[in-house]
Amino acid sequence: MQSISTKHLLGIKDLTTNDINLILETAKEFKDVINRPIKKVPSLRDVTIANVFFENSTRTRLSFELAEKRLSADVVNFSASGSSVKKGETLLDTVNNILAMKVDMVVMRHSSPGAPHYLSKHIKANIVNAGDGTHEHPTQALLDAFSMQEKIGDLAGKKIAIIGDILHSRVALSNIFCLQKLGAEVMVCGPNTLLPKYIREIGVKVEHNVQNALQWCDVANVLRIQLERQQIKYFPSLREYSLYFGINKKMLDELNKEIVLMHPGPINRGVELTSDAADSHHSIILDQVENGVAVRMAVLYLLAQQN
């Protein structure tokens, strides 16, 4: 059995191509498991995992919790909104108190970039980054890559366009790192104000015309506008954004080829995607959600072997 080269999953940047391939291969086996009548395996029996979420989450939190339970782990859920964090407790104190209860692994989402990296230097438990601010969201990138491979095969040489709010998206950065390590070409598309200043320096193409991006790519991964992270106005209105960068089924049908449409969720219907596009045969959005459980099972299983 191969093993992963890291004790924590903090970001795709820290993984080798072998690590990524190992996670994706392991996820295939776990996808078979979750489609069986009995969906549970005893792989992580007696392992205790704490889901520590300092930010709101629906899909990611449910997906991790389901993955943990499918592996027979003991699960503890922590939400900052009803905790001593509101009374001024520090991040390190909060996590150390949880670890004092003999927790083996921490799945953490935090609004500050680098929070899981900081924790990994101070505690012994394995840490899985479930999203740190606008920095990285590694398991989302892995499940996106897994979903693409299922649909179009080996990603080497394939063209992937990431369209939308790149500046505030942790999904975009993790996806770029992951796709590049798997040999894909990556393009980002969006208004200038929503693209990071130095984005070209990490080896991606930049496009401002969404129709050109769709014509170029094999897969379009569409991101929502992250209004909750925007302190200033980056464009005049959602209606204007939708007019210039929104994708509808007519645009997809007018292409002279079939492309795959993805979205990490939650979708703002009528803004970045119309309902007829999101629900069309091009879309694998619900496949991504299903694959998220299998990929997170693979990550937890492989990290648990490192102890």
* Binding site listing for L-aspartate: 87, 170, 224
Beta-sheet pairing, 159-163 with 105-110: unpaired
Q: Report CA-CA distances (Å) from 270 to 158, 165, 239, 267.
A: 28, 15, 9, 9
Binding residues for carbamoyl phosphate: 59-60, 109, 137, 140, 265-266
Distance between CA atoms of residues 281 and 243, nearest Å: 23
CB distance 213 to 161 below 8 Å: yes
Helix 138-152 with 59-70: angle, nearest 10 deg: 80
Q: Is the dihedral of CA 50, 3, 179, 146 positive or negative?
A: negative
Question: Which ranges of the chain would DSSP assign to H, the alpha helix?
Answer: 17-34, 59-70, 91-99, 115-120, 138-152, 170-181, 210-216, 238-245, 249-253, 275-278, 285-304
Name the phi and psi angles at 104, rounded to 5.
Answer: -95, -30
Question: Which phi-psi region, left, alpha or beta, contains residue 88 (left: φ > 0; alpha: ψ -120 to 50)?
Answer: left
Q: Token digits for 211?
A: 């129709």
* DSSP-assigned states of every residue in 176-202: HHHHHHTT-EEEEES-GGGS-TTGGGG
Three-state DSSP class for residue 256: coil
Binding residues: 59-60, 87, 109, 137, 140, 170, 224, 265-266
Three-state DSSP class for residue 300: helix
